[in-house]
Amino acid sequence: MTNESTSPVRFAPPVGGLQEVDGRRVFAHQMGSGGPAVVFVPGASAVGLDYLGVQQQVSRFTTTVVYDRGGTGYSDPLPLPRPAAVIATELRELLRALDVPGPYVLAAHSLGGLYAHRFAQLFPQEVAGMVCLDVFHRDWDSFMPPSASLDAVERMAPGREQMAQMRPALREMFAEMFADYPEPVRRALTEAHVSDEWTDAGVAERSGLAALAAELRCGPGLPDVPVVALTVVGADPGEQALTSERTAREMREARKRMDAALVDSVSYGEQRVIADTSHHRLCFERPDAVVQAVRDVVHRADRL
């Protein structure tokens, strides 16, 4: 699948800018000062500015970067999905182009967890810590029921036609989630998120979950750095619409076991279970939990 569009329409970022990486333009927005720098790695169908609210809070105590992977958001279009190693290398080159020194704390959400893990596999000395925001895991299929395997998740995810039908509801949802953002940012993000271009990119990226997990299983586990995992077990309307109540319950329990195993693999790991929000709304409804997790990892990394 590809998200390359023949449409001449391109969205201009309301804040931040475009940095040239390997002859292409990659969007990034940098705030704050000090270190270790925190880099937010978006989930599928998400973009860097979705994390602007938590970025602003974290930037009060260290350098922060949000960005869009090539082929997504405000970055130049590319065929999707792409190998995790390519995406990890792109991020490393972007941070060098921005002159943001490592090692970094990677704050990854959802699908971004797989890309952050691949970055840590390839460049372990450049990772100071990790904050796992309800992330996908390379061993997902070992914990989840067969009906919620990565292959099944790919099949369950809505396609382009379904996303088009959902557009009015999505516009309303994004407008609500971005309600506290500055008006130009809120308006620009909402309209771009419901566009064919951004919708197609999200659909395309979600089509490669099983392949990404297989790629990561060929490499090592996480480096021994501080890790905090936020495990979201609140009811998710989208998940409930796609699975049975029993499967949804089994997935919540599996997520807890999966993240527990993740933090047990390092010396300074901690799991925090979040029950009062859903996967997609974590950074909007519980920014306090996200910022505290980032702060704790930054402080632990600073002491090592």
Mean pLDDT, range 241-247, rounded to an integer: 74
Its sign, for the CA torsion 258, 260, 266, 268, is: positive
Tens of pLDDT, residues 27-38 = 999 999 999 999
Q: Does residue 213 belong to any structural domain of this protein?
A: yes
**8 is a domain residue:** no
- Averaged pLDDT score across all residues of the chain: 92
- Please, is 154 exposed, middle or buried when counting C-beta atoms within 10 Å of its C-beta (0-12, 13-18, 19+)? middle
Task: Assign residue 113 the CATH number of its domain.
Answer: 3.40.50.1820
Question: Is 10 part of any domain?
Answer: no
Can you give the pLDDT at residue 242? Answer: 64
Q: Is residue 5 part of a domain?
A: no
Q: Does 206 fall in a domain?
A: yes
Residue 12 is assigned to a structural domain of this protein: no
Q: Which residue, among 161, 151, 242, 237, has the nearest Cα to 199 in the 3D structure? A: 161
Residue span of the structural domain in which 36 resides: 17-303
Q: Give dist(CA 304, CA 302) in Å, integer.
A: 6
pLDDT score of 6 more than 50: no
Pick the residue with more confidence: 145 or 167?
Answer: 145
DSSP letter assigned to residue 103: -
CA atoms within 13 A on the CB side of 29: 22
Q: Tell whether 153 is covered by a domain.
A: yes
Token duo for residue 22:
């390997």
How confident is the model at residue 238, as a pLDDT?
61
Query: What is the rounded CA–CA span in Å between residue 135 and residue 140?
Result: 10
Residue 245 has pLDDT above 90, yes or no: no
From CA 212, how far away is CA 85, in angstroms rounded? 9
Q: At what angle do helices 112-122 and 209-217 cross, to 10 degrees?
A: 20
**Tens digits of residue pLDDT in 130-160:** 999 999 999 999 999 998 999 988 887 666 7
CA 292-297-301 angle, to 5 degrees, is 150
Give the Cα-Cα-Cα angle 287, 291, 295 (nearest 5 degrees): 170
Full-model pTM: 0.93
Cα 34 to chain centroid distance, Å, stands at 23
What total number of domains does the chain contain?
1
Which ranges in the chain belong to alpha helices (H)? 52-58, 84-97, 112-122, 140-143, 150-156, 160-165, 167-177, 183-193, 196-205, 209-217, 237-242, 245-264, 282-285, 287-303
Whether residue 159 is contained in a domain is answered as yes
Calculate the alpha carbon distances from 115 to 2, 21, 43, 234 in Å. 19, 18, 9, 24
